[in-house]
Amino acid sequence: MTRIPIARPLLGDTEQDAVAEVLRSGWITQGPRVEAFEKAVAARVGAREAVAVSSCTAALHLALVVAGVGPGDEVICPSLSFVATANAIVHAGARPVFAEVDPATWCLDPADVETRITERTRAVMPVHQVGMPADLDGLGAVCGRHGLQLIEDAACALGSEYHGRPVGAGAYLACFSFHPRKILTTGEGGMIVTSSSELASRLRRLRHHGMSIDDRVRHEANTPLEEDYLERGWNYRMSDLHAAVGLAQLERLGGILDARRQIVARYRRALAGLPAMLAPFEPPGRRTNHQSLGLTLLPDAPISRDALMARLLDAGIATRRGIMTIHRASAYRDAVGDLRLPHSEEVSDRSLLLPLFVPMNGETVDRVCAELRCALSGCRQLER
C-alpha cells in the first residue's frame, strides 16, 4: 500500500522551465531572477523591501544583526519552535530567553513575555507557528512599553493574514522560509521583509560578504569597478536557480492556499466529536495558511500520542510529533537549567502533525480520518 506522506512539494513543468531558462542565460548565481523574486514577494506581502537569502535561519541571523542585537543581549522567543529560532539568536552572540505560548494558538503569550524582560532584553522574536499569526498587537504593545524591537520568525507564514493584512506587511523585520515543507518552496531559501530601505541596503551588503558593489552593477559597468568590503559579512546569497523556482511557485500561491483550506475543512467535518482537536485554534482577526495541521489529544483519549503515531504508520500514514521544545533539546538543556514551560511542554507532548499537501484528494483525507476515528474511538485497526 502506498504510504501517505505528511507533506509533498508541489512542483511541475513551470518550475522546470524556469530553471532551464536560468541555465540557458549563463547567470545562475545571485542576479536578475533574485531581484525579480524579491520584488514579487514584497508586493505579495505588502512590504517596502524584501531581501532574499540562502535560508530562513540566515534571514533571522541577519535580521538580528541589523537590529543591533549582539553579545550580552537577550532575545525573548518561544521554546515551542524549531531549534533554528534559538540558534539564530546564539549566532548573533545573544542569549535566547524562552517564554510561554498560548496553548490554543501555539504562539507567544504577550503577558508571559513581559514577565521575562530584563535590562539586557533587546528584542522579542515571535514565531508564527505552523502559519498561525502570533498576537502582534499584544506583543507590539509590550515592545513599545519597554523600547524593544519586534523581529518576526515568519518561516511558516507566507500567505497568512493578521487583521486582513498579509503577515509581513509593515513589519520592522520578518523572515520567511522556502524549505520544501513550506507553502512556497525554492528547495532552500529565505526572505527578509522590512519597512526600512536603510536596513534592506545593509542586509543586501551583509549577505554578500559586506561587499560595497552589487555583482550586477560590477559586471554590467562600462568601466572597471573595484569593490570594497565595508564590514564583515557572510555568504548568505540566494541563487537565480532558486529564485526562478520561487517566482513560478508564487504564481500558484493563491490556489495552494485555497486548496489547503478546503482540505482542512474536510478534516474538521470528519473528525468532529472525537477526544482530540485540530490545532492550532484560529482566533478572530488571524487567518492561518495551514502550513501544517496539528492534532492535540484530549485527556480522555483512549490512546497515547506516540501509540497513535505508530498505529497510523503501520496503516501507511506518516505523521510527525508536535513542535519541539527547544529548552529540552540537548544543545540547550544545560544552559537553561530546570526551566519549566508547562503550556509549551503539554502542546509538544500531546500533539502530532497530520498529512497535508496539495494535491491531496478527498479519498486520501478520508482514509487518514477513518484510521483516526477508529483509533480515537478505541476500536481495532481497520483492515486494509
Pick the more confident residue, 384 or 280: 280
DSSP for 287-298, written as a single string: E---SSEEEEE-
The pLDDT value given to residue 344:
98
Q: What percent of the chain has pLDDT over 70?
A: 98
Question: Hunting for cell 523600547 — which residue is that?
Answer: 147
The pLDDT value given to residue 272:
95
Question: Hunting for cell 474536510 — which residue is that?
Answer: 266
pLDDT digits (tens, 9 = 90+) for 164-194: 999 999 999 999 999 999 999 999 999 999 9
d(CA 88, CA 283): 29
pTM, two decimals, is: 0.95
Question: Hunting for cell 537549567 — which residue is that?
Answer: 337
Q: Give the Å distances, CA to CA, from 8 to 184, 318, 326.
A: 11, 12, 26
Q: Residue 2: which pLDDT band, with cuts at 50, 70 and 90?
A: confident
Question: Hunting for cell 558593489 — which residue is that?
Answer: 213
pLDDT digits (tens, 9 = 90+) for 300-338: 999 999 999 999 999 999 999 999 999 999 999 999 999
Residue 279 belongs to what H/E stretch?
Answer: strand 276-279
Torsion over CA of 327, 328, 331 and 337, rounded to 10 degrees?
70
Examine the pLDDT at 222 and tell me if it is beyond 80. no
Concerning whether 182 is annotated as a catalytic residue, the answer is yes
> Average of pLDDT values for 120-142?
98
Are 41 and 35 in contact by the 8 Å Cβ rule? The answer is: no
Q: Residue 383: which pLDDT band, with cuts at 50, 70 and 90?
A: low
Q: Which parts of the chain fold into alpha helices (H)?
A: 13-25, 32-45, 56-66, 84-91, 110-115, 136-146, 197-206, 215-220, 240-271, 305-314, 330-336, 342-350, 362-376
Assign residue 147 a region (left: φ > 0; alpha: ψ between -120 and 50; beta: otherwise).
Answer: left
> Among the options 61, 95, 128, 182, which is catalytic?
182
Neighbours of 12 (CB within 10 A): 9
d(CA 37, CA 33): 6
d(CA 243, CA 36): 8
pLDDT digits (tens, 9 = 90+) for 80-97: 999 999 999 999 999 999
Three-class SS of residue 200? helix
Kindly give the interhelix angle for 32-45 and 240-271, rounded to the nearest 10 degrees: 30
d(CA 142, CA 165): 21
The pLDDT value given to residue 225:
77
71 contact partners, CB below 8 Å, separation of at least 6: 93, 94
Phi, psi of 118 (to 5 degrees): -125, 180
The residue count for the chain: 384
Three-class SS of residue 78? strand
Query: Both ends of the chain: CA-CA distance in Å?
Result: 9
- Amino acid letter, 17: D
78-94 residues labelled b (16+ CB within 10 A) or e (exposed):
bbbbbebbbbbbbbbeb
The pLDDT value given to residue 220:
75
The pLDDT value given to residue 382:
61
